[in-house]
Structure 1
Amino acid sequence: MATSLPQSFYRAEQVREGEQAVARALSIPLYQLMLRAGQSVFDCINQHYPNAARLLIVCGAGNNAGDGYVIARLAKSAGLNVTVWSLVTPNKLEGDAATAWQEWQDCGGSYVEHPPTISQFDVVVDAILGTGLSRAVEGTFAQAISAINLADVPVVAVDIPSGLCANSGCVKGAAIDADMTVTLIALKQGLLTGQAVSYRGKLLFAGLNVATAFSRQCTPAGYLVCDDWIEQYLPKRARSAHKGQFGRVLCLGGDQGMAGAVTLSAQAALRAGAGLVKVVTQKAHTLMLVTRQPELMTQDWAPGQSLSETLAWATHLVIGPGLGQSAWSDALWTIAVSARTPKVIDADGLNKLARQPQHRDDWILTPHPGEAARLLGCDTKDVELDRFAAVKAIHTRYGGVAVLKGAGTIVYDGTNYAVANVGNPGMASGGMGDVLSGVIGSLLAQGVDLFPAAALGCYLHGKAGDKAAEAGERGLLASDLLPYLQQLVD
């Protein structure tokens, strides 16, 4: 039966190799794992679609097809009306998949070669392609995927939606648009980010009673951020606590017409628990800032004025929200980025960094895919083709901790990957990134190191967005997150 998602994730090749190693170590035949996989997926179908009476199971080649034949046999034994649509001649199957096909035959099962009327079924099971996909889907397989996607029938994917790359999450030509994915033995990193988030549907996990042994043998590729991180990095404060213990965040930005961005960042820093927050911005914005949030300190600045005392006051910097591209912003950027103070770089700060690259170990960079493309000198589509590779490339070129925002935000520090498996489409609106930069700056100010501050900040930001979206996703505002941030860090 499916359980909650594990906190570790892996590359596809790690899972394939680790599965065999664990089976040997536990003296479990690999076919026994296939039987467990089929049973787990069938159990999920029964749980989530209890009224389904007619199943279409679409099988390709390899072990994914073998899982499909096991599911077909179990469903038939349970009295369901089962049709198997095989995209390859089953007698070409080998190993455990061939055994599963033979057992399906032995119980009176058969298959069809030509596309059935998909709309007559209650559930479609995708057992076409597994995690070993290395090239674009085409021909009969692509046609079958298209037909399944066009039908108005729930789809359950076995291990991964066919056509998705298990490592990058990108679509290889065509991919199943699943309503539910039951991933097996270990969590594949490609299911967590980018295009995969739109194709996987509800993500469930079945460890097949070997997940614990697997995790002991295999080093994770990375980790999912979870609620445990909040307790670990933001413990309850002592009753004697005072504001001086929780840092001083300095937010720099807000060029003409863009005061809202730096305001949101500073407000988020306050709501996430920073002791003191000050904003350096255009003179015209200072009254608006304190009117909007009287707890903020402000300082107007013009080129030629000194910022040395203000920079010395700050324990951490947030540079970029609403910074703009003017002479004023260029001058402010030059002074702020040279400070030897841990910092978060966002928005126009990232655009300036792309034009004048530097490598530092004391910063967190928080680009969205468009900003990431400018940092790497490539197209946005190249970033989205492999988000794990892109965030690694940003770190390699610029140092520090790199955050690649988007569906399934990824954080990387040169050694560790973390993914924030939270957030929703309502967060695709102006100001959300400004709130995130303030949250991360606040965590740094409260003593959290760069990597966990970036990862936990992304998690808190996405989770606050999910709570705010309970009232509706469309029309969600960045400022709607602020009260939920306070609840989450308490």
Structure 2
Amino acid sequence: MPAHPYSRHLHTVEQVRVMERAALAALGISGPALMRRAASAALNSLRRAWPQLQHVCIHCGPGNNGGDGFLLAVLAREAGLQVELVALTAASHGDAAAARTAWEAGGGRVRLWDAHGELPDAELHVDALYGIGLNRAPEPDAARLIEAINRSGRPVLALDIPSGLDADTGHCPGAAIRADVTVTFIAGKRGLHSGRAADQVGMLELATLGVPDSVYAGVLPDAQLLAAEALPPRTRCANKGNYGHVLVIGGEHGMAGAVRLAGESALRAGAGLVSVATRAGHVGALNAARPELMAHGVDGPQALAPLLERASVLALGPGLGQGAWGHALWLTALEAGKPLVLDADGLNLLAHEPRRFAVPAVLTPHPGEAARLLGVATAAVEQDRFAAVRELARRHDAVVVLKGAGSLVADPDGRLDVCPWGNPGMASGGMGDLLTGIVAALLAQGCNAWRAACLGVGLHARAGDRAARQGERGLLASDLLIPLQALGNDVTGHEREHD
């Protein structure tokens, strides 16, 4: 379906509530009328995804999400489908009560959920149990129904949000629906795009329900989805000096691969020159494997100093270690006052010696590293990735990339972008080293920290999706290097894009 002009905008639950009220006023309609629009959009989504389907079971909760389900049942019956309806409760409240009455008035039967019973054997289950207001674990009976739906082996359509998923954070505090398709209403919810949402949402569609542009213009989004972008074409008279000099610092004994991957990705992302400062024992292997990298053995700060002087951007941390050698190089590099990307052990050292950055800096922690920087458990980071990444950006006065499913990019002022690409095959060693090199290369080519982080995260994830066309399992970090080069030069291809 064509993208809506505001389809990249993501909102909090509170913002969506404001937009719903504004929509009712702007359209001059009642709550039930807006609910009927949602039901109609849901039926359209159902028909697009499963055009041959004849038998559907709709599961309704007591609130407005359940009301959407009751009206979907009315419309589906009118369209000639066989409809069964399972309700969590004997009564509905608010506008949902009228929707329930409309279903029953037409002869519709409501079957109350029996936690010890069986689901109807339908071709499709529709989740209309809980909407965006749920931020706790579902009640035990509802949890059993959710688990039964998930076990059914039948496809699932979720209305607005998969029940059990927190619409603000993407966290699931208890049982949660695993949908094949989710049709969300009016505006994008940020929790549908990061963390656990990747396993719950399935294919996501936005149905705006005819809401006018004035409603969207009146509420600034809390976050945005990244757009697919490439670097501008180079001038014909370009030379390597125009595109910066990245210095990758790291590679303690046994970890030469980390600096090679970071250095090679910096080259593939367009840096004019890339040097590597590492253990002397790694220089020969690096020269043999990738002669375009200028590898230098450094035994301490004195040997690092002339390399720092020539560099325009630092990539600090891949394979660095936290021993005396790594710590000394880390301190020396930070004192050089050069723009930098900080990753891996560069972040672990920062957790022990916190500081704010006066130079352009991009930090790229995974959730475990973010937890160490914040002094909390990893689970606390995953419970609210949005809050965690914003706090890290504020605390360190840097742009921060919180990696993972739906990677987040935040700046110290609270601006936040969400990556809609990437795949589980990228959960393998060396992927973070690649991202470090890519972002450093973009800084070296003149991007500011925000632009380098957003463009770098997008290129990295899209290269991962293109590389995974042969399958996700067994994907190597180095498999991304050629797709990365292609994507940096244009945006053609068939990688998955968001609506």
Same fold (TM over 0.5): yes
CA distance in 2, matches of 1:3, 1:283: 53
1:435 aligned residue: 434
* Preserved CA contact (<8 Å) 2:113 2:145: no
Q: Which consecutive unaligned segments of at least 5 residues does structure 1 have?
A: none
Do structure 1's residue 49 and structure 2's residue 50 form an aligned pair? yes
Paired residues for 1:403-422 under 5 Å: 403-414=401-412, 415-422=414-421
CA distance in 1, matches of 2:257, 2:310: 24
In 2 relative to 1, CA 304–351 (structure 1 residues): closer, same or farther, beyond 3 Å? closer
* Preserved CA contact (<8 Å) 2:132 2:161: yes
Match 1:341 to one of 316, 338, 343: 338
Q: Which moved more, 1:66-75 or 1:285-294?
A: 285-294
In 2 relative to 1, CA 431–297 (structure 1 residues): closer, same or farther, beyond 3 Å? same
Equivalent residue letter for 2:93: L
* Preserved CA contact (<8 Å) 2:394 2:411: no
Q: Kindly state the Cα deviation for residue 127 of structure 1 after the two structures are TM-superposed.
A: 0.3
Q: Kindly state the Cα deviation for residue 405 of structure 1 after the two structures are TM-superposed.
A: 0.3
The SS at the match of 2:182 is strand
CA distance in 1, matches of 2:316, 2:212: 43
Q: Kindly state the Cα deviation for residue 143 of structure 1 after the two structures are TM-superposed.
A: 1.6
1:381 aligned residue: 379
Match 1:241 to one of 234, 238, 243: 238
Alignment length (residue pairs): 484
In 2 relative to 1, CA 177–411 (structure 1 residues): closer, same or farther, beyond 3 Å? same
CA distance in 2, matches of 1:338, 1:300: 20
* Preserved CA contact (<8 Å) 2:301 2:332: no
1:322 aligned residue: 319
Q: Which moved more, 1:353-362 or 1:123-132?
A: 353-362
1:93 aligned residue: 93
* Preserved CA contact (<8 Å) 1:403 1:411: yes
Q: Kindly state the Cα deviation for residue 2 of structure 1 after the two structures are TM-superposed.
A: 7.6
Q: Kindly state the Cα deviation for residue 304 of structure 1 after the two structures are TM-superposed.
A: 5.1
The SS at the match of 1:118 is coil
Match 1:370 to one of 368, 371, 376: 368
Q: Kindly state the Cα deviation for residue 119 of structure 1 after the two structures are TM-superposed.
A: 6.0
* Preserved CA contact (<8 Å) 1:34 1:66: yes
Do structure 1's residue 351 and structure 2's residue 355 form an aligned pair? no
CA distance in 2, matches of 1:372, 1:3: 34
The SS at the match of 2:56 is strand
CA distance in 2, matches of 1:342, 1:304: 18
1:468 aligned residue: 467
- Deviation by residue 1:81-118 (Cα, 9 ceiling, x = unmatched): 1011010123x422x22222222223221210134643
Equivalent residue letter for 1:93: H
- Deviation by residue 1:305-329 (Cα, 9 ceiling, x = unmatched): 2433321211111000011122211
1:290 aligned residue: 287
The SS at the match of 1:451 is helix
2:329 aligned residue: 332
The SS at the match of 1:438 is helix
Equivalent residue letter for 1:339: A
Equivalent residue letter for 2:22: A
The SS at the match of 1:307 is helix
Q: TM-score, normalization: structure 2?
A: 0.94
- Deviation by residue 1:353-389 (Cα, 9 ceiling, x = unmatched): 1011111142111000111111111111111111011
Q: Kindly state the Cα deviation for residue 63 of structure 1 after the two structures are TM-superposed.
A: 1.0
Equivalent residue letter for 2:107: G
Paired residues for 1:1-400 under 5 Å: 3=3, 6-90=7-91, 92-94=92-94, 96-115=95-114, 117-118=118-119, 120-210=121-211, 212-227=213-228, 229-230=229-230, 234-303=231-300, 305-361=302-358, 362-400=360-398
Equivalent residue letter for 2:318: P
CA distance in 2, matches of 1:462, 1:211: 33
Q: TM-score, normalization: structure 1?
A: 0.96
* Preserved CA contact (<8 Å) 1:350 1:375: yes
- Deviation by residue 1:47-88 (Cα, 9 ceiling, x = unmatched): 111121111000002110111011101110111110110101
Equivalent residue letter for 2:196: Q
* Preserved CA contact (<8 Å) 2:277 2:304: no
In 2 relative to 1, CA 2–19 (structure 1 residues): closer, same or farther, beyond 3 Å? farther
Paired residues for 1:452-467 under 5 Å: 452-467=451-466
Equivalent residue letter for 1:369: P
CA distance in 1, matches of 2:222, 2:302: 47
* Preserved CA contact (<8 Å) 1:159 1:183: yes
The SS at the match of 2:112 is coil
Equivalent residue letter for 1:149: N
* Preserved CA contact (<8 Å) 1:65 1:128: yes
In 2 relative to 1, CA 378–238 (structure 1 residues): closer, same or farther, beyond 3 Å? same
CA distance in 1, matches of 2:288, 2:241: 24
- Deviation by residue 1:229-259 (Cα, 9 ceiling, x = unmatched): 43xxx21222222221111111101111000
CA distance in 2, matches of 1:114, 1:61: 12
Q: Kindly state the Cα deviation for residue 146 of structure 1 after the two structures are TM-superposed.
A: 1.4
Equivalent residue letter for 1:18: M
Q: Which moved more, 1:109-118 or 1:391-400?
A: 109-118
Q: Kindly state the Cα deviation for residue 165 of structure 1 after the two structures are TM-superposed.
A: 0.7
* Preserved CA contact (<8 Å) 1:3 1:204: no
Q: Which consecutive unaligned segments of at least 5 residues does structure 2 have?
A: 490-499
The SS at the match of 1:75 is helix
CA distance in 1, matches of 2:213, 2:285: 55
Q: Kindly state the Cα deviation for residue 215 of structure 1 after the two structures are TM-superposed.
A: 2.0
CA distance in 2, matches of 1:391, 1:211: 32
Do structure 1's residue 402 and structure 2's residue 403 form an aligned pair? no
* Preserved CA contact (<8 Å) 1:2 1:205: no
In 2 relative to 1, CA 152–464 (structure 1 residues): closer, same or farther, beyond 3 Å? same
Q: Give aligned-pair identity as a percent.
A: 47
CA distance in 1, matches of 2:397, 2:410: 10
CA distance in 1, matches of 2:135, 2:313: 44
Q: Which moved more, 1:239-248 or 1:180-189?
A: 239-248
Equivalent residue letter for 1:103: A
* Preserved CA contact (<8 Å) 2:158 2:182: yes
